[in-house]
Structure 1
Amino acid sequence: MRSDDSGTNPYATPSPLSVESSQNASFVGTDEDLHPFRTIWTSPRRTVRQIVSIDPKLHVVPLACLAGVGETLDRASTRNAGDDLPLAAILGIAILIGPLAGLFSLWIGSHLVRFSGSWIGGVASREHIKTAIAWASVPSIAALPLWIPQIVLFGSDLFTQETPGLEAQPMLLIPFLAFALVELVLGVWAFVLLCNTIAEVQGFRSAWRGFGNLILAGAVVVVPLLGLVLVVAMLSNA
């Protein structure tokens, strides 16, 4: 994994040797250069750099809300929510609660990434981290329209452990797997973009360091929880 830009980063603390080169940098685009919904796919670092230079809040809220809808549908599918809820209820929850969940995820995620990133030299503000997270979700949001034909074709089978519809019509397995593959590719690409956008705003040269920042952010939550589980287990066995 590598970034698409290796130039001087505007978020890194300038050193005496880099002052002259940074003065000559021309990486900040103009409004005419900014086509973020297109360029984020292949030039995430340059795109997020332009966005935070022009308007860090650009589309952040709607992107987070849409990402929340997609994440809610994904979780309902993986957790077989249809075993307990009708399809209409699942869709209603995704549409009404999903946006709020997306905003909360963005809020807590920006805190965790900023906090853990400071351990490895990250310099981004929480606002810029929110920009990086929101815009990296574009590929995942692009998968949202795929839910429409899937619901038409597969119905509640998308959200249940048992899949009677697919079993009754084996030919539906082909489009089912095709949709799953497309969503997997988009999800992986969204994560690659996230590593790059986080690296950019944090002042990291390598997207791998952005990946490390995300791992640390997850560890901030997971490690204490594991410790708590171990303590409870030890006390219960005492």
Structure 2
Amino acid sequence: MNEFETPQQEKINPFFTIWLHPKKTTRYVIQEKSWLYVIILLSIGYIGSLFTGYMDIGIYPNFPLWAMILITIILSPIVGLISNAISAFCTWLIGKMFSGKGTYAQLFKASSLSVWPFIVLIPIYLLWMLIDPNSLMNMSEDFGAFAIIGVLFTFIATIWSIVITIAAIAEAHQFSNWKAFFTLLIFAIIIAIIFILIGVIIGIIIVLLGLSYYM
């Protein structure tokens, strides 16, 4: 019998229980929820996650709000699936170093829960865009009252996302929260190193192109 299987699974509403019982919710989603359910919630979560990327992006008012929202909705399932697939693979692989028992499929479902807190941000960011878009996309120039509210909710959602991610990894791999924390930490370090290397490579290419231009 799989570690997650129980004689009778209690029926819960995952979106409500995720906030206070992330492990219980992870177990329920892994056991009871379909892939369609997981992908839909993942895609919706990434709408909120992508919205946070508009902070101080500086493209307003040159780029229309309706286009930003439409692009975000279109890209959310694509970005969500790719990002979650990579995240699940890495946490599955790293977790094996700590004797984790989870399968890749279980880690994929578990990892998808990390963006659920960002669903709450969707109405906040939509209101922010409609009421005071300049303070969102030109925050360094116009940091208003709505910006304070938006940043506060974003901070809370991000912290809770980390908490949920640790609990979800721990539940999927059937090991302690500390092992899940270090699994996530190692994954974050690897991603940071990759981005730094990419930045260095791009910088070197730009310098070389600049030198070749003046030669």
SS at match of 2:133: helix
Question: Displacement, 1:121?
Answer: 1.7
Is residue 2:31 matched to residue 1:49?
no
Which segment drifts farther, 41-50 or 88-97? 88-97
Q: What is the correspondence of 1:72-91 to structure 2 with a 5 Å cutoff? A: 72-82=50-60, 85-91=63-69
Displacement of 1:137 after TM fit? Answer: 2.1
In structure 2, list runs of 5 or more residues that go unmatched: 209-215
Q: Report the more deviating stretch, 73-82 or 129-138.
A: 73-82
Partner SS for 1:140: helix
* CA distance in 1: counterparts of 2:31 and 2:78, whole angstroms: 27
Say how many residue pairs are matched.
Answer: 203
- Return the alpha-carbon distance in structure 2 between the equivalents of residues 179 and 226 of structure 1: 29
Does residue 211 in structure 1 map to residue 151 in structure 2?
no
Contact persistence 2:46–2:118 (CA under 8 A): no
Q: Is the 8 A contact 1:60 1:131 kept in 2?
A: yes
Cα distance in 2 for partners of 1:209, 1:81 equals: 41
Alignment counterpart, residue 176 of structure 1, candidates 144, 147, 158: 147
Report whether the alignment pairs 1:108 with 2:79: no
CA RMSD of aligned residues (A): 2.9
Q: How many percent of aligned residue pairs carry the same amino acid?
A: 21
Letter of the structure 1 residue corresponding to residue 73 of structure 2? I
Q: Distance in 2 between matches of 1:29 and 1:57?
A: 22
Moved more, 220-229 or 209-218: 220-229
Do the aligned partners of 1:73 and 1:94 also contact (CA within 8 Å) in 2? yes
Change (3 A) 1:161 1:37: closer
Deviations 1:90-134 (A, max 9, x none): 222212112211111111111111122222222211111111111
Map 1:22-101; keep pairs closer than 5 Å: 28=6, 30=8, 32-55=10-33, 57=35, 59-82=37-60, 85-101=63-79
Query: Gaps spanning 5+ residues in structure 1: where?
Result: 1-8, 12-26, 167-172
Kindly name which structure, 1 or 2, has the bigger radius of gyration based on alpha carbons: 1
- Counterpart-to-counterpart distance in 2, 1:130 and 1:74: 23
> Is residue 192 from structure 1 mapped to residue 170 from structure 2 by the alignment?
no
Q: Is the 8 A contact 2:26 2:171 kept in 1?
A: yes
The DSSP-based 3-state class of the residue aligned with 2:132 is helix
Q: Which is further off, 67-76 or 220-229?
A: 220-229
**Deviation of the 1:58 alpha carbon:** 6.3
Cα distance between partner residues in 2 of 1:143 and 1:198: 23
TM-score, normalised relative to structure 1:
0.73
